[in-house]
Chains A and B, each alone.
Chain A
Amino acid sequence: MAAGMKKKTFLAPLGKDNPVFVQILGICSTLAVTNKLENTMVMVLGVMFTIALSSWTLSLVRKWIPSRIRMMVETMVIATYVIIVDISLKAFYPEMWKQLGPYVGLIITNCIVMGRVEAFALQNKPTLSLIDGLASGMGYGYVLLSIAFVRELLGTGSLWGFKILGSWWTNWSIMVMPPGGFFMLAIFIWIVHESFLKKGKEEEHA
């Protein structure tokens, strides 16, 4: 396997094939967990772990999975990894689990996980699938973290729970509520498309 292939697989989800702002996948969690950086970070780590390992596992057994039941097998493997994340958090980071308990289970329904397995892992070798999963998780992660940064800062005047802006700052409550998520995501997608992706598309068409 050429090193160039690995590099390409790694870079695509970070830029022109980004799961969030190009494929528009995983939007529900992007809206739900981005009002606090801390919650977002745990969600991102959980998703990275789940995508990478379920892509790897399913790629290992891809030749034996009967195609008619492949989705059931995929869901089963993904759910197993999510439960592993959930139980580990519960046992070793109980304070964090108390805050994020409900969110962790949501990783199962994150369409990026199943999307990468279906679109990539079932056609490619395990190592390459692992890289693709990890990179997809990172591509998802930095979009979420940048949205969470703005939402927490404007919505509560703090970052990672610490007060940044002084008492002169009036909190924009709308930022921590669901509409704030919609606005920020739309603005993010708009900026990225206008300034980075448009140029690439024009070249393709020319």
Chain B
Amino acid sequence: MKTQNFYMRRIHPLVFMAVVTIICILLTASLHLSTFDRVKNNEQFFLRRSILDAAAIEHDGQPGTVATLYQDSVTETNGVYQVKGSDGTMRYVSQLTGPGLWGPITIMVGFAEDHKTLTGVSIVSQNETPGLGARIEEPWFTRQFVGKQGPFRRVEEGTADSPEEMDGITGATRTSESFKNIMNRAITESATKSGGQ
């Protein structure tokens, strides 16, 4: 009677918990493994798409076309993606991470052959406030850098009219300011890299 009591009070809960844990882990682990390739493909697709976007290569957003375009026109050396445009000119795309308001913002920045003129910017990952800071993902915001050389100065939303001015986002001053800093760092880094060559 006493030993059975000891078992029910001390051992049984441990055994029960262990069994539940093992079942739960088996379930989640098998789901993770069975979707592993799919998840990897998705990640690769997002990365390739953001490189093509930053290099201003037109695509229809379908995984198939993105993969073909990427294989045809992109070569990677030391973290710099060299992208051959349809007109034969080269674009240089690199990834850059900087602090945002809530977490790091990672972007792809593309430069033309002169390493100064921006061909495009795309967001790889960000964690800003939905509806405010997260609007850096909206096309009007990223497209404003195309063809400009910076360095940029932040002005109020919708008032940028010279090539050095960047439209901020109303209600997301700190995200806009952080984004401007990342952009300016990208511009300086690109200039030093090309100067050293």
Docked-complex contact B130 and A77, CB < 8 angstroms: no
A69-B17, A102-B127 given as contacts; is B24 within 8 A of A87 (CB)? no
Q: What secondary structure prevails in chain B residues at the interface with A?
A: helix
Chain A, Cβ-Cβ closest to B123: A98
Set of chain B residues within 8 Å of A84, measured between Cβ atoms? 27-28, 31
Docked-complex contact B39 and A39, CB < 8 angstroms: no
A150 and B196 CA atoms in complex are apart in Å by: 55
**Stretch of A20-28, A132-140, A170-178, A197-205 with 4 or more beta carbons under 8 angstroms from chain B:** A170-178
Within 8 A of A (CB), among B1-45: 8, 12-13, 16-17, 20-21, 24, 27-28, 31-32, 35, 38-39, 42, 45
A152 and B134 CA atoms in complex are apart in Å by: 14
Docked-complex contact A87 and B17, CB < 8 angstroms: no
Docked-complex contact A69 and B46, CB < 8 angstroms: no
- Contact bitstring A22-56, B, C-beta under 8 A = 1, else 0: 00000000000001100100000000000000000
Chain B, Cβ-Cβ closest to A156: B131
Docked-complex contact B27 and A177, CB < 8 angstroms: no
Docked-complex contact A91 and B38, CB < 8 angstroms: yes
User: Does A189 reach chain B (CB closer than 8 Å)?
Assistant: no
Docked-complex contact A73 and B20, CB < 8 angstroms: yes
Chain A, Cβ-Cβ closest to B28: A83
Interface residues of B (CB under 8 A from A): 8, 12-13, 16-17, 20-21, 24, 27-28, 31-32, 35, 38-39, 42, 45-46, 125, 127, 129-132, 170-171
User: Does A123 reach chain B (CB closer than 8 Å)?
Assistant: no
A173 and B175 CA atoms in complex are apart in Å by: 15
7 shortest interchain CB distances as A-B pairs: A173-B171, A91-B35, A176-B131, A94-B42, A80-B24, A66-B13, A69-B13
* Total inter-chain residue pairs, C-beta < 8 Å: 74
A80 and B32 CA atoms in complex are apart in Å by: 12
User: Does A63 reach chain B (CB closer than 8 Å)?
Assistant: no
Looking at the assembled complex, report how far the CB atom of A89 sits from the nearest CB atom of chain B, in whole angstroms: 10
Docked-complex contact B16 and A176, CB < 8 angstroms: no
Set of chain B residues within 8 Å of A73, measured between Cβ atoms? 16-17, 20
Set of chain A residues within 8 Å of B8, measured between Cβ atoms? 66
Looking at the assembled complex, report how far the CB atom of B61 sits from the nearest CB atom of chain A, in whole angstroms: 10
A35-B130, A77-B24, A176-B131 given as contacts; is B13 within 8 A of A90 (CB)? no
Within 8 A of B (CB), among A70-93: 72-73, 76-77, 79-80, 83-84, 87-88, 90-92
Beyond the given A155-B131, A176-B171, please list 19 additional residue pairs across the A-B interface where CB-CB is below 8 A.
A39-B130, A66-B16, A73-B20, A76-B24, A87-B32, A87-B39, A90-B35, A90-B39, A90-B42, A91-B38, A94-B46, A99-B130, A102-B127, A152-B131, A156-B131, A171-B170, A173-B171, A176-B130, A176-B132
Chain B, Cβ-Cβ closest to A84: B31
Set of chain A residues within 8 Å of B39, measured between Cβ atoms? 87, 90-91, 94
